Amino acid sequence: MSPHSEVVLNSSDAAEIALNGNGVVLASNGGNRVGIEDPPALVDAAGATHSNGNGVASNGGGHSSSSTSSTTTSPRRSFSSRAESSPYLQPAALDGEFDLICVGFGPASLAVAVAIHDALAAGQQLLPDGRNPRVLFVEKQARFAWHAGMLLPGAKMQISFIKDLATLRDPRSEFTFLNYLHRQDRLVDFTNLSTFLPARVEYEDYLRWCASHFERLVQFGQEVVSVSPDNNKAEKSGVRSFTVQSRDVASDQTHTYRARNVLVAMGGQPSLPKNFPLRHPRVIHSSQYAHRIREILPKANGAYRVAVVGAGQSAAEIFNNVQLLYPNSKTWLVMRPEFLRPSDDSPFVNSVFNPEYVDALFPKSPKYRHNLLTEARATNYGVVRLELIEALYERMYDQRRELGVDDTKWPHRILGGRQITSIDSRGDSMELRVVNVQDSGALDGFIDAADEEVLEADLVIAATGYQRSAHVPMLRGAWDLLPKAQAGGLEFGKGISGWNVDTDEGERKLAVGRDYRVKFAPGAVADDAGVWLQGCCEGTHGLSDTLLSVLATRSGEIVDSIFGRAAGKR
């Protein structure tokens, strides 16, 4: 769906949706569902079944082992090494002042924890008084998890394991993917795979192994609602600390913490098209697919009707997986583009994800950055790995060969150039009205594209992406510290030139520097304090900002920016 036709699932929506069985927050630990029959195991492209225990990685229990038989499963297991805590970062009193509070404990914040650990292990002094920093992470989820709702059997990473949390910054780090394999006694076996692309479940296990070293520093189950400057009007050097307020997800109790520096790295918020119901138990976002699919559709032999919305990798993977999970199902992939397009991961184009590319892009004009990001979208947005496209095409071809050219008689259809105009409940099912995006002309000769098509579905899965603007209202208390915005507003959206916000004293501009530090008005914030943003700076720092590609190097830059300034290095 187009950006202007989306809604973001905010915290209140997510809470209400979760109560109705349609949560999009990964704080859930799955669920031991009591049903009429056991739900089907997730299936990979080869048809082998895999045990995923209590929901794929939703209980933080490691990755599953693939079986050699389609009728046997093996239990999930977590990483074999006993969890160790970082000797350099220790828990501190929650009512004291922290040197750094990180909003979120996903891969971005985890990479910062690793970078701080590595710096201290190398003997670097990060604070003027020589002590180790007091660091706190505040995380909404009940435990560390990474894209747990999309940990599908057989799914591979799309970037090299070399782009882990540490290697590109320091290959000698304890937290490289290779050291993880060594610690699990799988290094030699992994080399026999002859691949740079590990299974997605294995990479999530690597991330959880890294996270286990820092979990004593994390306040899990707390959603940060605001970051506000402390009232330090007597300080001529500006604000010297910030208050972070959070809400306990379970009890709704409010907590407050103080820190000199705050890093906001909360990830993306699932978004749905505006005409989709937010609280319908049979409309879910792709981020909850692996958690919810077997609960909503419990019978392996059920003749379920499932509509998947989207044109990217997640949509294609789900469209494929539903057909393997439920052999008697009827599925539709509804997407605005006419065709599934392959991702461009060729070497020259892929250089857009190189760490040094941020240096080249950041000083460019907003128009240049806007045009380049638009040109490079085929590397990451609305595209699918070629091998999956070929597998889906072969399936469509087999249907044409076996059932004829009229695709309305096929059990599995790709409806390109279409959009859903409405979703209406019909008992336990839903009625979807689908029209051609242009509302004129024929697509493939099978359907009069100008006519409306009505689909009856038991489940709608929206693989419609994420929005990354929640930091703007979260920092509302600090808006008055921002510089005044130039007249005329912003020429481009999505943070290409920052974000303009309205205050009682006029429009202010929220933007970051090359080091990801929020640029407050001169003198408003002390030199040894500040706010940093991660994962929402694509418009200024490039496509890699929301991805794993630059985590290792970016975390080192942010640690240097925060503690290099604090230690008087700058």
Q: Cα dist. 174→92, 117, 298, 406 in Å?
A: 24, 9, 43, 57
Residue pair 241/230 in contact (Cβ under 8 Å)? The answer is: yes
Q: Which tokens sit at 482?
A: 């921002």
Q: Judge whether 162 and 551 are in contact, CB under 8 Å.
A: no
Q: Which of 38-47, 77-86, 115-124, 328-337 has the lowest mean pLDDT?
A: 38-47
Instruction: Return the SS3 of 164.
Output: coil
Distance (Å, whole) CA 465 – CA 336? 14
Q: What CATH number was assigned to the domain covering residues 3-56+65-75+275-343+382-462? A: 3.50.50.60
Structure-model confidence comparison of residues 177 and 154, the more confident one: 177
Rounded Cα distance between 218 and 216, Å, is 6
How high is the pLDDT of residue 229? 96
Q: What is the mean pLDDT of residues 76-104?
A: 83
Among 56, 61, 25, 30, residue whose Cα is nearest residue 222: 25
CA distance 314 to 286: 7
Residue pair 394/560 in contact (Cβ under 8 Å)? The answer is no
Span 435-473, pLDDT tens digits: 998 764 444 444 454 578 999 999 999 999 999 999 999
Q: Which of 21-35, 129-143, 246-260 has the lowest mean pLDDT?
A: 21-35
Q: What is the rounded CA–CA span in Å between residue 215 and residue 137? A: 9
| Distance separating the N- and C-terminal Cα atoms of the chain | 45
**Does the pLDDT at position 2 exceed 50?**
no
Mean pLDDT value across the chain? 83
- The pLDDT, as a whole number, for residue 84 is 84
pLDDT digits 0-9 by tens, 132-150 = 999 999 999 999 999 888 8
Instruction: Name the pLDDT band for 562 (thresholds 50, 70, 90).
Output: very high
More confident residue, 386 or 52: 386
With helix as H, strand as E and coil as C, how does 252-268 read?
Answer: CCEEEEEECEEEECCCC
Query: What percent of the chain has a predicted confidence (pLDDT) above 90?
Result: 64
8 A C-beta contact, residue 173 and residue 311: no
Residues 285, 9 contacting (CB under 8 angstroms): yes
99 secondary structure, DSSP code: S
Instruction: Give percent of the chain above pLDDT 70.
Output: 80
| pLDDT value of residue 26 | 30
25-29 mean pLDDT:
31
Of 8-12, 31-35, 249-253, least confident by mean pLDDT is: 31-35
- Look up residue 426 and give its amino acid: R
What b/e string do you get for 240-279 counting C-beta neighbours within 10 Å, with b at 16 or more? bbbbbbbbebeeeeeeebbbbbbbbbbbbbbbbbeebbbe
Structure tokens that stand for 155 in this block: 């799914």
- In this structure, of 7-11, 136-140, 171-175, the range with the lowest mean pLDDT score is 7-11
Give the confidence band of 231 by pLDDT, cuts at 50, 70, 90: confident
Least confident of 12-16, 99-103, 184-188, 381-385: 12-16
Which of 159, 164, 112 is CA-nearest to residue 137?
112
Distances (CA, A) of 300 to 51, 115, 487: 14, 45, 60
| Position 494 confidence tier, pLDDT thresholds 50, 70, 90 | low
Q: Which amino acid is located at 477 in the chain?
A: G
pTM summary value: 0.83
Task: Please check the confidence at residue 336 and state whether its pLDDT lies above 60.
Answer: yes
Per residue in 262-300, pLDDT tens? 999 998 999 999 999 888 999 999 999 999 999 999 999
